Structure 1
Amino acid sequence: MRLAGMTAIVTGAASGLGEATVRRFHKEGARVIVADIDLAKAEKVAADLDVDGKTAKALACDISKSEECETLIDEAEAFFGGPVDIFHANAGVAFSGNLLEIAPEKIERAIQINLIGAIFSAQAALRSLSRSEKPALLFTSSLQAVLGRPGRSAYTATKHAITGLVKSLSLEFGPAGVRVNALAPVGIDTPLLRDQLSRTTDNVDARIAAMADNLPLRRMPTPQDFTDSAVFLVSQEARCITGQTLVLDCGASAGIAEPRTR
């Protein structure tokens, strides 16, 4: 119950890491908004958390539209009866492929959602967070915030930009007491990742094991690893931590790991 009495919004919360995080925030005692572009899925998550709708509510939001971000905050404040304490800017889209072969629309979408959407949603949230007594703004970033990767150019650019955004916002809103941080995970063993891998291999478990073997700790992070870190960063246990990107990568960014000898 480390978030007891607090209010929280998670974007992209109808599935994946966003859903895992909003569930964890609720379990830790926070009243939550399950925000997602897919309202039907968000409503299922919110109803599963609280069928009476007193501690969890679903709201639709396309973070690439500033007016929808503003409406999200207005409706959240009405539900909470006060300002937002925690805002987790988690919504995003993937991007892969050789830059010379990617359609301009796909590049624009990655930038519009992963960067501009993050800025729009943070802008709206900060108007409310600045009035909270224990405000925390958390972004979901990626290992590509600190390292490059072939075939992920536009995605990598947006995540590098989030690192700079976190630093600037921490300086700009620190005097108001707002802490701003990001979580930057390597690939996480989720049903979504397994589904993606199943399209290119018949042995998903072997592929996951091979990916884990390339990491110094010989394991991949799990959704619980992610939510453990998220709860820490938005809680008062991290009250002196701001402007940081916490890399959740099982050692991948430390250097080149020695291959496992079998």
Structure 2
Amino acid sequence: MSQNKVAIITGGGSGLGQAVALKLADSGVSITVVDISEKAGNDTVSLIKEKGAKAIFVQADVSKAEDVKNYVDKTVEEFGTIDMFYNNAGISGPGVKFLDNTIEQIQQVVGINLLGALYGIKYVTEVMLENGGGSIVNTSSTAGVVGQATVGTYSATKHGIVGITKTIAAEYAEQGIRCNAIAPGTIETPMVKEYRQKNPENVKAVVEAIPQKRLGEPEEVAELVTFLLGDKANYINGTVVSIDGGFTSI
């Protein structure tokens, strides 16, 4: 992977975003870490810099288009271009049956997970097209491939991520844009740990339903994401790669 590449990672303060940031930093990629949490984002920036790579933090509520445009503008200002985009920021929601969601809860999950991802793709792809192309990886979920009880709104947004992934690949492949998605199963991230505390029985049932009988690790997902973002995956476009211990294979 070229040392001159530039990446944006949303939700970069923890979990999958942080794991991908640290993996890319090992290859000398310059990184814009985007997160709602200033402390978490700056922590990731410090870890990247310890590896000798360049990084900046931009705080953003990705459900606001102006915040998304700002992190794109700040990246171009600092690093001159955008080669890779890990479009990852997301929340799980309350973990209840769909009819028990409030309108506010539905709007929050859709705003962050789906609108935030769409805004990111729009503004980042505009820059990539000006500069000859680039690679996007969106975070979907097993809940974007199959239905899962108690995460209805989340599942709807993650199915939406699959749709936009395939659309961008179809529309802009000839102009050098690659857009893929990953569909992780339940990974040991802070978001999942919080969900597990609220819904221990649900998570226990999830582990039992995974053929490998364990949750995934963020570093395992980071291996996949960095591969898809990089040049070795040049002929992979518009696809959704499951990484779930076999959960959606049965």
Which amino acid in the other structure matches residue 216 of structure 1?
A: P
Measured in 2, the distance between the counterparts of 1:7 and 1:49 equals 13
Q: Which has the larger radius of gyration?
A: 1
Measured in 2, the distance between the counterparts of 1:142 and 1:238 equals 20
Offset from partner CA, 1:42-77 (integer Å, 9 cap, x none)? 122212321699701111122111122111111101
Measured in 2, the distance between the counterparts of 1:45 and 1:134 equals 27
Residue of structure 2 equivalent to 1:84: 82
Residue of structure 2 equivalent to 1:111: 110
- What SS class does the counterpart of residue 34 from structure 1 fall into? strand
Q: Does 1:22 align with 2:21?
A: yes
TM-score (norm 1): 0.87
- What SS class does the counterpart of residue 85 from structure 2 fall into? strand
Which amino acid in the other structure matches residue 41 of structure 1?
A: A
Name structure 1 gaps, 5 residues minimum: 256-262
Q: Give 1:221's match in structure 2, choosing from 185, 197, 216.
A: 216
In structure 2, do the counterparts of structure 1 residues 120 and 190 end up closer, same or farther at CA, with 3 Å as the change threshold?
A: closer
Measured in 2, the distance between the counterparts of 1:176 and 1:36 equals 29
Residue of structure 2 equivalent to 1:72: 71
Measured in 2, the distance between the counterparts of 1:43 and 1:215 equals 35
- What SS class does the counterpart of residue 67 from structure 1 fall into? helix
Offset from partner CA, 1:12-44 (integer Å, 9 cap, x none)? 111111111111111122010111122232122
Measured in 1, the distance between the counterparts of 2:78 and 2:126 equals 16
Name structure 2 gaps, 5 residues minimum: none
* Structural mapping, 1:10-159, within 5 Å: 10-50=9-49, 55-80=54-79, 82-95=80-93, 96-133=95-132, 135-159=134-158
In structure 2, do the counterparts of structure 1 residues 211 and 106 end up closer, same or farther at CA, with 3 Å as the change threshold?
A: closer
Tell me, yes or no, if the aligned pair for 2:10 and 2:88 is still in contact at 8 Å: yes
Residue of structure 1 equivalent to 2:179: 180
TM-superposed CA distance for 1:209, in Å, is 7.5
Tell me, yes or no, if the aligned pair for 1:3 and 1:25 is still in contact at 8 Å: no
Which amino acid in the other structure matches residue 91 of structure 2?
A: V
Tell me, yes or no, if the aligned pair for 2:180 and 2:238 is still in contact at 8 Å: yes
Q: Does 1:231 align with 2:207?
A: no
The count of aligned residue pairs is 249
Which amino acid in the other structure matches residue 214 of structure 1?
A: A
Offset from partner CA, 1:53-106 (integer Å, 9 cap, x none)? 9701111122111122111111101111x2100011100111221222211100
TM-score (norm 2): 0.91
Measured in 1, the distance between the counterparts of 2:5 and 2:190 equals 30
Measured in 2, the distance between the counterparts of 1:195 and 1:69 equals 26
Greater helix share, structure number: 2
TM-superposed CA distance for 1:5, in Å, is 1.9
Q: With CA pairs under 8 Å and 6+ residues apart, which has the higher RCO, 1 or 2?
A: 2
Offset from partner CA, 1:106-131 (integer Å, 9 cap, x none)? 00111111111110111111111223
Which amino acid in the other structure matches residue 17 of structure 1?
A: L
Measured in 2, the distance between the counterparts of 1:157 and 1:117 equals 14
Measured in 2, the distance between the counterparts of 1:211 and 1:100 equals 22
Measured in 1, the distance between the counterparts of 2:91 and 2:203 equals 21
Residue of structure 1 equivalent to 2:164: 165
Offset from partner CA, 1:183-238 (integer Å, 9 cap, x none)? 1101012354334424455xxxx997764442223333211110000011001110
